[in-house]
Structure 1
Amino acid sequence: MPQPLREAVIPELPNYYRGKVRENYDLPDGRRIIIATDRLSAFDRAIACIPFKGQVLTQTARFWFEQTGDICPNHVLDYPDPNVVVGRRLEILPVEMVVRGYLAGTTGTSVLTMYKQGKREMYGVRFPDGLHDNQALPQAIITPTSKAFDGGHDEPLSAGEIVRTGLLSQKQWDEVSAYALALFARGQETALRCGLILADTKYEFGIDRDGRILLADEIHTPDSSRYWFARSYDERFARGEKPESFDKDFVRNWVAARCDPYREPIPEIPADLIEETSQVYVRAFETITGQAFVPPADDEEPLPRIRKNLAKYF
């Protein structure tokens, strides 16, 4: 396997901020350089590096930003490197717009988890009795969350609560919810042509210097979205089985089976597991976009290449 991009610290660039998987630099003119590393984040920390992961996420988001630019303006200005996007620096809105087309999910804020607990009123939406795991909803719904409450943990909210508490104005809510539903509809339509079901996803929006709302971060990537294979969905659903998906959780599952990853050291992860996960990311890119994945040259290390491609920003 090629050398993964573990970090991208470039001293010549100003205002460095390290995220879980991305390195960020804020330029004085209002642009932000975002470098996607190959770090895999889980259990509140980076547990491994997956070759090509950063490139897959950046180039998948690029495909979708270009596919949806007629629906919603986005932050993108340039792609100087396969792992890098240069965008407008935004004031990120404090509400994450999660859009769901199916009764699915595993987290505490997912509609399936809460539905199984007996809840029928969620996110301001009334759900009927008798729904089954992974069943299509009558129509796509927005299940927004915010980390503004509960000590930084995702908190499920309704549209009324978002406006009432001042997280967003009514005008802002109307605009981002319309954008989110339109983006999701385009995503589902485009994915289905590639044999995929876009079951749910999340969007982040921000405000630029001119007060415009723009789509930020990433869109419809394997990390921000749940994709299922359409060809096997009906049969598996009828048997009560989980839909077939891009299984990227080999590393997470392997670690969780061998230690308490929140309290204990992470054991050394086998190379074949890393390689298998890398292949899944590449397969996801090619299936989602319909494009062939073009890896960097074998003799090209990622960080020197990125430094060279970003030299004009020094």
Structure 2
Amino acid sequence: MNALKETNFDFEGQTNFYRGKVRDIYFFGNKMAMVASDRISAFDVILPRAIPFKGQVLNQIATKNLNATKDICPNWLEQTPDPNVAIGITCETFPVEMVIRGYLAGHAWREYRDGKRSVCGVTLPEGLKENDKLPEPIITPTTKAHEGHDEDISREEIIAKGLVSEKEYTQLEDYTRKLFQRGSEMANERGLILVDTKYEFGKLDGTIYLIDEIHTPDSSRYFYAEGYKLRQEKGEPQKQLSKEFVRQWLISKGFQGKDGQKIPEMTDDVVNSISDRYLELYEKFTGESFQKQDYNQVNERIKNSIVKAMS
């Protein structure tokens, strides 16, 4: 099956290269070209097989969302010259991720279920069930780990450790709440609920920029709005539109990224089913038909698009 697992280019004028969990990033001084590969990660582990069209799905959704929120916060993106490529400015990254939650799901629910009533310094009320709407959205930041797992951290710890100044952190919180509000409104228009998401920010010449992807199924969790209340009343699982289905498949096979655990086999059927979910997710989120890219000479196409954009 065709998929873009990685790129290995060497451009004229290239100043650095970084391979993240799912992206290959080429630096050109204060500019960067971000290639969205088809790699997939879960529990901070890169899975052994790439998922056809995943990179294209995420890159195109991220572009749509960055363009729809630049009136709230300046962002890094300048152009998207290829289905898998985004070009923009290079910022000094803040060492925290701003996670915001409108509902009690995922990691926050697991912490709550296990008896904790405070997540990242935020106190939660008693009596909540999984996937309940929170009284108001809460910000639960994490450290940004280059390797291994991100760790929960409170506002107070971030400021006390000098990771972000209080003034800048207050600005990050304000941007986070406004971006989440906009994302929620956009999701609502498509019959979806934005459950939780994360934002990353950077700074260039004293200005704070929103960086990376936003409101994608990999960085966010969505529920289908139709039937949400009824499912909650019956105690049934919510119908989700996110990467959570991949995590749940791994959990069902005994894998959560912990030491000694073995990644389950990803058969062609598993890979195809994940790919199909990403395409469904794209069409539900955007309301548009997905135009599958041609994987013939995909590396050459991507390389040429970056050369042209940087010239």
TM-score, normalization by structure 2: 0.90
Q: What pairs up with 1:135-214 in 2 under 5 angstroms?
A: 135-147=132-144, 153-208=149-204, 210-214=205-209
Partner of 1:10: 9
Identity of aligned residues (%): 44
Whether the 8 Å contact between 1:78 and 1:85 is mirrored in structure 2 is: yes
In 2: Cα distance, 1:258 partner to 1:90 partner: 39
Secondary structure of the residue aligned to 2:241 is: coil
Instruction: Measure how far apart 1:265 and its partner are.
Output: 6.6
Whether the 8 Å contact between 1:251 and 1:269 is mirrored in structure 2 is: no
Runs of 4+ in 1 over 4 A off after TM superposition: 258-268
Partner of 2:101: 100
Q: Please tell me the residue identity of whatever aligns with 1:200.
A: D
Whether the 8 Å contact between 1:250 and 1:273 is mirrored in structure 2 is: no
Structure 1 stretches lacking a partner, 5+ long: none
- Range moving further from structure 2, 140-149 or 56-65: 140-149
- Range moving further from structure 2, 7-16 or 81-90: 7-16
CA offsets per residue over residues 219-248 of structure 1, 9 Å max, x none?
000000001111021111111122101364
Task: Give the direction of change, closer, same or farther, for the CA distance of 1:251–1:206 in structure 2 (3 Å limit).
Answer: closer
Secondary structure of the residue aligned to 1:23 is: strand
Instruction: Measure how far apart 1:252 and its partner are.
Output: 7.1
Q: Please tell me the residue identity of whatever aligns with 1:270.
A: T
In 2: Cα distance, 1:87 partner to 1:218 partner: 12
Q: Please tell me the residue identity of whatever aligns with 2:33.
A: I
Q: What pairs up with 1:214-229 in 2 under 5 angstroms?
A: 214-229=209-224
Q: What pairs up with 1:46-65 in 2 under 5 angstroms?
A: 46-65=47-66
CA offsets per residue over residues 30-75 of structure 1, 9 Å max, x none?
1011101101123523321111000001001011001111111100
Q: What pairs up with 1:75-94 in 2 under 5 angstroms?
A: 75-94=76-95
Task: Give the direction of change, closer, same or farther, for the CA distance of 1:251–1:156 in structure 2 (3 Å limit).
Answer: closer
Task: Give the direction of change, closer, same or farther, for the CA distance of 1:139–1:272 in structure 2 (3 Å limit).
Answer: same
Partner of 2:283: 286
Secondary structure of the residue aligned to 1:279 is: helix
Whether the 8 Å contact between 2:254 and 2:261 is mirrored in structure 1 is: no
CA offsets per residue over residues 124-148 of structure 1, 9 Å max, x none?
3222211111100111111111147
- Range moving further from structure 2, 301-310 or 277-286: 301-310
Task: Give the direction of change, closer, same or farther, for the CA distance of 1:259–1:227 in structure 2 (3 Å limit).
Answer: closer
Q: Please tell me the residue identity of whatever aligns with 1:115.
A: Y
Task: Give the direction of change, closer, same or farther, for the CA distance of 1:273–1:235 in structure 2 (3 Å limit).
Answer: same
Partner of 1:114: 111
CA-based RMSD: 2.5
Secondary structure of the residue aligned to 2:198 is: strand
Partner of 2:73: 72
Q: Please tell me the residue identity of whatever aligns with 1:163.
A: I
In 1: Cα distance, 2:276 partner to 2:144 partner: 33
In 2: Cα distance, 1:147 partner to 1:50 partner: 25
In 2: Cα distance, 1:171 partner to 1:80 partner: 36
Partner of 1:234: 229
